[in-house]
Amino acid sequence: MADEIEPEDSKLTITKRKWAEQGKFLTGRITRPETDRLPPGQHLVKNWPVLDLGQQPQVSTERWKLDVRGLVNNRRTLDWAAFQALPQTGMRSDIHCVTTWSRYDNNWKGVSTHDFLDLVDPQEEAVAVMLTSYDGYTTNLLLSDFASPDAIIVTEWEGKPLSEEHGGPVRLVVPHLYFWKSAKWINRIEFLDRDQAGFWEKNGYHMRGDPWSEERYSDD
């Protein structure tokens, strides 16, 4: 994408790139969510750690927009009022960060990706999406993962507006994948005919990121 902005390297970026090179945190175990709620190599936390690329863009609801482009029949640019007018859904899910922390029972509110897909109507050729954030961050998802029943485009957490540090006003939450796939501060979703690497995927991280199969890093 010609207009993609690459974030500058931060201390966290450099560190996590080294983790990928070293295979840090890998245990070699494989579990399934049906039998084990905590994926291999993870530990539980009660707080919600904050990780970003060194900046937290300040995006007001008055300024926020979500641009939907690519292989969809209904291209849209949604402002806050239009997004709030879509069906609103509440969900509860666990989250699992590739840096090994997990947090159980998070209560979200927003627009389910199923309702969002009904709105934009992906074309038959679409197989993946690329998410772009206000800080220039990008990450990719297979369309089948984006469309999972528990995936939601979030505006609230625990009954309150999503805070800036956690990606407010709007972020994606895809609970069955590592949390780097759940992009913060999203402002663009592009539907693609092939899977393409985003920011962390270009820096040694797995293209999909299934926590129960411990897909932390690229096989390349």
> Which pLDDT value is given to residue 55?
77
Residues with Cβ within 8 Å of residue 14, at least 6 apart in sequence = none
> Which pLDDT value is given to residue 173?
98
For residues 176 and 150, give the distance between their C-alpha atoms in angstroms, rounded to a whole number. 8
Q: Which of 46, 78, 31, 3 is nearest to 211 (CA)?
A: 31
Are 106 and 152 in contact by the 8 Å Cβ rule? The answer is: no
For residues 5 and 19, give the distance between their C-alpha atoms in angstroms, rounded to a whole number. 24
Quote the pTM value: 0.86
Report residue 148 as tokens.
């999972």
DSSP-derived pairing of the beta strands 152-157 and 171-173: antiparallel
Instruction: Give the domain ranges of the chain.
Output: 11-213
> Which pLDDT value is given to residue 219?
76
Class of domain 11-213: alpha beta
The yes-or-no verdict on residue 3 having pLDDT over 90 is no
> Which pLDDT value is given to residue 1?
42
Q: How many residues appear in the chain?
A: 220
Residue given tokens 């109507």 in the structure block: 121
Over residues 74-130, the pLDDT tens digits come to 999 999 999 999 999 999 999 999 999 999 999 999 999 999 999 999 999 999 999
Over residues 21-41, the pLDDT tens digits come to 656 556 777 777 767 899 999
The yes-or-no verdict on residue 2 having pLDDT over 50 is no
Q: What is the DSSP letter of 14?
A: H
Share of the chain above pLDDT 90, in %: 79
pLDDT band at 218 (very low <50, low <70, confident <90, very high): confident
Report helix, strand or coil for 188. Answer: strand
Q: Which of 215, 198, 213 is nearest to 20 (CA)?
A: 215
